[in-house]
Structure formats: C-alpha cells, structure tokens
Amino acid sequence: MASGRLGATDLTANSEAVVYTVPASKLASLTINAVNKSGADAKVRLALASGSTAANSEFIEYNTTIPSGGVLERTGIMLDAGKHVTANLTSGSGVNVVVYGYEV
C-alpha cells in the first residue's frame, strides 16, 4: 500500500498535466494542493479524469484564481483504478501541484 506523496509537478502554462494516476486494482484516497509561488495571481483547472485529458464533465476546479503565495486545497477525494488527477495552468506562472494520500 503506497502512502504519502503520490505525485507532484510544476505546471506549464496552457498544458494539461497528469499529476497522478491510480494504479490498476487500487483505490486512492487523495488530497490535492496547488501552490502559487509567483508574485502574481494564477488561474488553474483541476480534474478527475478517465483519460490523460479531462472532459468538460470531469473538472472539480475551473479557472480558479490562486492569489500570489496562496494555496488551493481539495480534500476527501476518492478515485478508482486507472483514473487520473490532471491540472492545467491557464494564466500566470509558478504553480505546482502535489497529490498525497494513500492507495488500497
């Protein structure tokens, strides 16, 4: 059973990134943190996606503003095998996303 930090990435503007994928035959309990390390506001999208690119119906945050030095946190997320946590930086820079939790 994996636990702790399960995935992390620095976001690139206008490029959707898969931050974490639940392994086959596993269920994951997750928290997602997006941190804005820059000196200006940034906008991000987060999704719980079936594929490596999120469909319109899979977003849990959409162009949400994270202020300079701010954090966006989503907790209590359960995700089944093969699903992905994706993130996209739609404006700004200096945002990283960390997924942590455990797999069973």
φ/ψ (deg, to 5) at 22: -70, 125
**What is residue 38's predicted lDDT score, i.e. its pLDDT?**
97
CA–CA dist 68, 59 (Å, integer):
23
Taking residues 32-42, what's their average pLDDT?
Answer: 98
Instruction: Give, in order, the Cα–Cα distances in Å from 77 to each of 43, 69, 74.
Output: 21, 24, 7
Instruction: Collapse the DSSP code of 57 into the 3-class scheme (helix H, G, I; strand E, B; otherwise coil) and give the result.
Output: helix
Taking residues 79-98, what's their average pLDDT?
Answer: 98
**Two tokens at 16?**
């959707």
Question: Is residue 39's pLDDT more than 90?
Answer: yes
Determine contact, residues 49/86, Cβ cutoff 8 Å: yes
Give the model's confidence band at 1: pLDDT under 50 very low, under 70 low, under 90 confident, else very high: confident
pTM: 0.95
